[in-house]
Amino acid sequence: MPAPIRLRELIRTIRTARTQAEEREMIQKECAAIRSSFREEDNTYRCRNVAKLLYMHMLGYPAHFGQLECLKLIASQKFTDKRIGYLGAMLLLDERQDVHLLMTNCIKNDLNHSTQYVQGLALCTLGCMGSSEMCRDLAGEVEKLLKTSNSYLRKKAALCAVHVIRKVPELMEMFLPATKNLLSEKNHGVLHTSVVLLTEMCERSPDMLLHFRKVWLLVPQLVRILKNLIMSGYSPEHDVSGISDPFLQVRILRLLRILGRSDDDSSEAMNDILAQVATNTETSKNVGNAILYETVLTIMDIKSESGLRVLAINILGRFLLNNDKNIRYVALTSLLKTVQTDHNAVQRHRSTIVDCLKDLDVSIKRRAMELSFALVNGNNIRGMMKELLYFLDSCDPEFKADCASGVFLAAEKYAPSKRWHIDTIMRVLTTAGSYVRDDSVPNLIQLITNSVEMHAYTVQRLYKALLDDISQQPLVQVSSWCIGEYGDLLVSGQCEEEEPIQVTEDEVLDVLEGLLVSNLSTPVTRGYSLTAIMKLSTRFSSVNRIKKVVSIYGSSIDVELQQRAVEYNALFKKYDHMRSALLERMPIMEKTASNGPTEIVQTNGETEPSVPDTKLPPLITQPANQANDLLDLLGGNDVVPVIQTTLPTKPASAGGELLDLLGDLSLSGGPAPAPSVPISQPPFLLDGLSSQPLFNDISAAIPPMTAYNKNGLKIEFTFERANPNPNIAVITIHATNTTEADMTEFVFQAAVPKTFQLQLLSPSSNIVPALNQGSVTQVIRVLNPQKQQLRMRVKLTYTHKGSPVQDLAEVNNFPPQSWQ
Amino acid sequence: MHFLLLFSRQGKLRLQKWFTPVPEREKKKIVRDMTTMVLGRKPRSCNFLHWKDLKIVYKKYASLYFCCGLDAEENELLALEVLHRYVELLDKYFGNVCELDIIFNFEKAYFILDEFLLGGEVQETSKQVLSRSIEASDMLQEVCFGRSCLLSVLSIIFSVVL
């Protein structure tokens, strides 16, 4: 039988194959030859055949039939055979294979071989892929070799021990005595592997760690070794670009980190050497920076003194300016880890970090973005936001969702003014609108509702954005919701922040109807626009057009739209008397605790455009029917318009229906549940309907007061604090009538200065019975974030003995406890 | 280090070293993922990537990509030095090493690697000591081979004589 072809010959042949099929053919032929050669138990050429098999295995072809042959090679006496045999074992015989354990005996013999290179092969194989059983069997041999004076074997034994400990942690103890003397070696290979072994032990066992710290006094030993490394002159053997054995330096620094963590004494002992390494290491090449990087990580992790920490952060700052991309990347990752603990120090490098947003490398951009968001605070919000919005415009789509969420979060926390906040949101919606997360729509709606004085400006800007582009669904949804709510402000051209635009009711309805029919709109968006159109029926005069649209969608295929349209139709027909009340302006929505730290957006630093004026302007009397008339009455801008839900309650059955219809209305923010709206609405209604007894126990804390007493009508205020927010005062009014005639169609309205926000819930009834036979109660909630003195202007209208009566009064005698 | 891979610009695997037990199918998947990710990088990107919970460090030397997978605590900049040291060792051994050397002498590339790294960690930091060990091992192989050659020649002579 001819000798099997040589390895190089085979490789050359296979490389000449021009197609995959050709290659496969060659390989199959060779495999067949190899298989028959194995069957013949040919000792001479086994090595060559297995080598060829390993080559074919690397190309991706199966080689399992060579596993046993590897074992035979390992058992052979020839060094060549052993070399290939062990290589084959490492490639083909991992611990999942059945024949794996058969190696154990061979390895045991070879660990005791007379030739160190054979011992080395055995240690290498065991340390690379030995299974737990094998490790258990052979740990003793490894431990023996750890104590030998042969440094070639000692270093391999140390790393083999690391593997044994990883596989069988219980065996750690047995290596302890042998490890003790390892650090006194001069040989760098042994030193390096010993440090690795010690690191592994410390990481796995806190007891071991303590033992090393206290008993072995490991820290001073390591400090000494490190010092010698740095101070010693040029050593050609271990030099890398002028630095002596960087691999060993880095491993020592890493072990020091573990030893110094949460231990003051150890940390102090290493302070000097860390400072020395940090200042003296050459930074022109990657190798020096690798050492500095490890030093910085160590300084930040142990209990280092503040001077050292500042030094570390400055090193990172210098890294950021380095031309080498890798170093910039590493700096950003490290700064991200330290930004929580050393915030101020990192802030100093903010401008460099922001510049990294413009880097071409994707990994660097992402790190820079995360770090930028971590650095945003009340002082730098304007500048940072400009950069971040610019980044949002130009970044890859994979970043846009995260960036948009980050912008919203930062804006919510640190917005300097409401107008700025709304402008920022608009910018995000228009540039990255299709990437914002789903939950941002209800959050934004809540924010807009609560920025009361910005309504006109907001709706105008959103309307203009809608005219430009209706493809970005979150933008469209928020816009249509706002137009539905504040459409009247839009057509009346009331905007004070910027030039008001001239828009007619028909134009607005055109836009909203356009959304309903457009292919770009999702079903959710269509729901928003239908509800918006419906709401405009109480704000616009073109009710007929709206009626028509609503009735058309009563037969829509989309079940959600159909249901809405049918219910709105019912509102037009059977429940028309409720329509105006149901479609009133939304009240201030309280954020639930889980939603965010602030309830209402706080102004932060900057003053609002219109400074709150504590002096209320003179009254102008006018017949009042709509909520906004109180605004005109009191001279306009200085007073917050009342947001009230005046629903005269009918007997129980109607109240039930009311609840259902309103249940639907509260979800008009969109089928995707707005987290705060449904939660806050029903309790308010229930509060209004069931009134006082809930609060009686707390009311004793603040004394009640008489707010108004004229012509037989007396109105008393009782107070309690709302939970959880102490800035909200809950006032219950009790209206009683001492005259002999009932006061019917009683309506109570109130207005407060600009720094407050007020909400009126529904009254218990609109008839104040004569001769104190009963009372009308109503709940008012006042938000007083600045704890200013509470003042209120009230307007009362009722019919008494057939003639309408109207009166205005100021209430100034609030007890101090109600607003402090 | 979890693994070290060498592959060409066309994605052909030239060397694979696994330091943790991984099933065969998983190995193939990892190799595929690494080649796709690394070959897809723009020319002047940084040398670090994230993949699952590992840090991937890669460096291109001529037509070969050297790629390794690290744990979160390991130092990426030092890993670049480790890769560089391995290339230096190959260069010293083969004399101006190129991809063909590694293709035709893959088993020697493995032997050198096994003298440099053990269980994913560096075992020797001195280039000279390492080169000497490899030379000595090669000599042992030669002697062995020489001895077996001599034996087979002698046995032929004896069989002829007898």
pLDDT at B138 (0 to 100): 93
Say which range, A97-101, A362-366, A724-728, has the weakest mean pLDDT: A724-728
Do the bridges between strand B54-61 and strand A243-244 make them parallel or antiparallel, or are there none, so unpaired?
Answer: unpaired
What's the pLDDT at A597? Answer: 39
Tokens representing residue A450 in the block: 């609560």
Q: Report the distance separating Cα A87 and Cα A71, nearest Å.
A: 11
* Exposed/middle/buried for residue A567 (C-beta within 10 Å: 0-12, 13-18, 19+): middle
Using one digit for the tens of pLDDT, what is the confidence trace for A735-790? 888 888 888 888 888 888 877 888 888 888 888 888 888 888 888 888 877 777 88
Confidence of residue A202 (pLDDT cuts 50, 70, 90): very high
Asked if B46 lies within 8 A of A246 by C-beta distance, the reply is no
Q: Rounded mean pLDDT of A264-282?
A: 91
Give me the helix-helix angle, B76-94 and A246-260, nearest 10°: 150
Closest of B131, B120, B57, B47 to residue B88, by C-alpha: B131
Q: What is the mean pLDDT of residues A789-805?
A: 85
Q: Which residue has the tokens 């959304």?
A: A515
Whole-structure pTM value: 0.69
- The answer for A 133-152 residues in CB contact with B (under 8 A) is 152
Q: Is B136 touching A (CB cutoff 8 A)?
A: yes
- Does residue A699 carry a pLDDT above 50? no
Instruction: Say which residue, A670 or A253, is predicted with more confidence.
Output: A253
pLDDT at A712: 84
Q: Is B21 on the interface with A (CB under 8 A)?
A: yes
pLDDT of the residue at A306:
87
Kindly tell me the number of DSSP H helices and DSSP E strands found in chain B: 5, 7
Task: Say if residue A621's pLDDT is above 80.
Answer: no
* Whether residue A255 has pLDDT greater than 90: yes
Hey, of B12, B80, B81, B101, which one would you mutate to test binding to chain A, going by the most A CBs within 10 A of its CB? B81
pLDDT in tens, A488-508: 888 887 777 778 788 888 888
CA-to-CA distance for A730 and A719, rounded, in angstroms?
Answer: 6
Q: pLDDT at position B159, please?
A: 67
- pLDDT at residue A1 greater than cutoff 80: no
The model's confidence at residue A572, banded by pLDDT at 50, 70 and 90, is confident
| Count of domains for chain B | 1
At A320-368, the pLDDT tens digits run: 989 899 999 999 999 988 888 888 888 888 888 998 888 888 888 888 9
Between A360 and B17, whose confidence is greater? B17
Mean pLDDT over B2-18 rounds to 95
Residues A519-530: tens digit of each pLDDT? 888 888 888 988
Q: Is B19 on the interface with A (CB under 8 A)?
A: yes
Q: Residue A78 and residue B141: Cα distance in Å, rounded?
A: 8
Instruction: Name the one residue in this structure whose structure tokens are 């400072």.
Output: A275
Identify the pLDDT of residue A592: 55
Q: What is the pLDDT of residues A586-597, one digit of tens each?
A: 877 766 534 433
Q: Do B118 and A159 touch (CB under 8 A)?
A: yes
Q: Measured between CB atoms, does A755 come within 8 Å of chain B?
A: no
Which CATH number describes the domain made up of A705-818?
2.60.40.1230
Compute the average pLDDT of residues B141-151.
70
- Judged against a pLDDT cut of 80, whether residue A308 lies above it is answered with yes
Closest partner CB to A55 (pick from B42, B106, B129): B106
Residue A676 scores a pLDDT above 50: no
Helix (H, G, I), strand (E, B) or coil at B44: coil
Q: What pLDDT is stored for residue A616 in this prediction?
A: 33
Distance CA A24, CA A15 (A): 11
- State the Rg of chain B over Cα: 19
The residue-averaged pLDDT of A476-482 equals 89
A330–chain B Cβ distance below 8 A for any pair = yes
Contact between chains at B126 and A363 (C-beta distance less than 8 A): no
Is B75's CB within 8 Å of A293's CB?
yes
Of A120, A196, A286, the CB nearest to B81: A286
**3-state SS class at A795:** strand
pLDDT at A31: 93
Please give the ipTM for the structure prediction.
0.91
Q: Is the pLDDT of residue A38 over 80?
A: yes
Nearest by Cα to A326 from B86, B80, B73: B80
pLDDT at A653 over 80: no
Task: Using the predicted structure, report yes or no on whether residue A673 has a pLDDT greater than 60.
Answer: no
pLDDT at A738: 85
Q: Lowest mean pLDDT: which of A390-394, B86-90, B152-156? A: B152-156
Tokens of A18: 């021009």
**pLDDT category, B47, cuts 50, 70, 90?**
very high
pLDDT for residue A254 is more than 60: yes
**Sequence-ordered list of residues with C-beta below 8 angstroms from that of A183, at least 6 positions apart, any chain:** A191, A194, A195, A221, A222, A225
Of the pLDDT bands very low, low, confident and very high (cuts 50, 70, 90), residue B152 is: low
CA A154 – CA A190 distance, rounded (Å): 6
* pLDDT tens figures, A145-164: 999 999 999 999 999 999 99
Query: Which sequence spans correspond to the domains of chain A?
Result: 438-582, 705-818
Q: What is the reported pLDDT for A466?
A: 85
Q: Which tokens sit at A262?
A: 């949460």
Distances (CA, A) of A41 to A36, A88, A89, B152: 9, 18, 19, 17
Query: Do the Cβ atoms of A561 and A530 come closer than 8 Å?
Result: yes
- Give tens-digit pLDDT for A426-477: 888 888 878 888 777 888 888 888 887 888 888 888 888 888 888 888 888 8
pLDDT exceeds 70 at position A723: no
Closest CA–CA distance from residue B20 to any residue of chain A (Å):
7
Residue B124 contacts A where some CB pair is shorter than 8 Å: yes
Chain B residues in contact with A90 by the CB 8 A cut-off are 114
Euclidean distance between CA atoms A66 and A139, whole angstroms? 28
Q: Provide Rg for chain A, Cα atoms.
A: 40
Chain B environment of A163 (Cβ under 8 Å): 119
pLDDT at B34 over 70: yes
In sign, the C-alpha dihedral spanning A286, A290, A295, A296 is: positive
Residues in A closer than 8 angstroms to B28, CB to CB, are 60
Q: Which residues, 6+ apart, have CB-to-CB distance to A347 below 8 Å?
A: A375, A377, A380
- Interchain CB contacts (distance < 8 Å): A and B: 159
pLDDT interval class at B149 (50, 70, 90): low
> What's chain A's average pLDDT?
81
pLDDT surpasses 90 at A405: no
Closest CA to A102 of A128, A70, A80, A62: A70
Average of per-residue pLDDT across A278-298: 93
Q: In CATH, what number is assigned to the domain containing residue B139?
A: 3.30.450.60
How far apart, in whole angstroms, are the C-alpha atoms of residue A229 and residue A221? Answer: 13
Instruction: Tell me the CA end-to-end span of chain B in Å, nearest whole number.
Output: 59
pLDDT at A503: 83
Chain A residue at shortest CA distance from B5? A58
Which amino acid makes up residue B15? Answer: L
A23-37, A601-615, B113-127: range with lowest mean pLDDT: A601-615
Best interface-test mutation with B: which of A5, A9, A43, A58 has the largest number of B CBs within 10 A?
Answer: A58
On the 0-12 / 13-18 / 19+ scale of CB atoms within 10 A, A787 is: exposed
Structure tokens at A308: 């050292």
* Lowest mean pLDDT segment, chosen from A279-288, A314-323, A543-552: A543-552
Q: What are phi and psi of B75, to 5 degrees?
A: -85, 115
Instruction: Please tell me the least confidently modeled range out of A68-72, A719-723, A785-789, B20-24.
Output: A719-723
In which domain, by residue range, is B37 found? 3-158
